[in-house]
Amino acid sequence: MERENVPDSWIGRRVWVITVATAERTTQEQGILLNMNQFGIAVRRPVLGGGEEEEVVFYPWVHVYQLGPLIE
């Protein structure tokens, strides 16, 4: 599979990050894209239960199936 170049314009936008959890299951996360580099994808998202926000880094890249902005 070819690597897709992610535009810098996605930084600061709300995105979906879909990851492969197991062979049969994927997970979907939604948050504000903070940064992307060789170490991972940093996203800020609300903490479950409301209120605060947390920064989450998805690493390694091989588990990320799809990354893209929300279509409104």
Alpha-carbon distances of 49 from 34, 53, 64, 72, rounded to whole Å: 22, 10, 25, 25
Q: What's the confidence (pLDDT) of residue 61?
A: 58
Q: What is the mean pLDDT of residues 52-56?
A: 86
Q: What's the confidence (pLDDT) of residue 34?
A: 92
Q: What's the confidence (pLDDT) of residue 1?
A: 46
Residue-wise burial string across 7-20, b where 16 or more C-beta atoms lie within 10 A, e elsewhere? eeeeeeeebbbbbe
Say whether pLDDT at 2 is over 70: no
The structure tokens listed for 61 are 């890249």
Instruction: Give the sheet arrangement for strand 64-69, strand by strand.
Output: 53-58, 40-46, 26-37, 14-20, 64-69
17-53: pLDDT as tens digits: 888 877 788 888 888 999 888 778 889 988 877 778 8
Name residue 53's amino acid. E
**All structural domains of the chain with their residue ranges:** 8-69
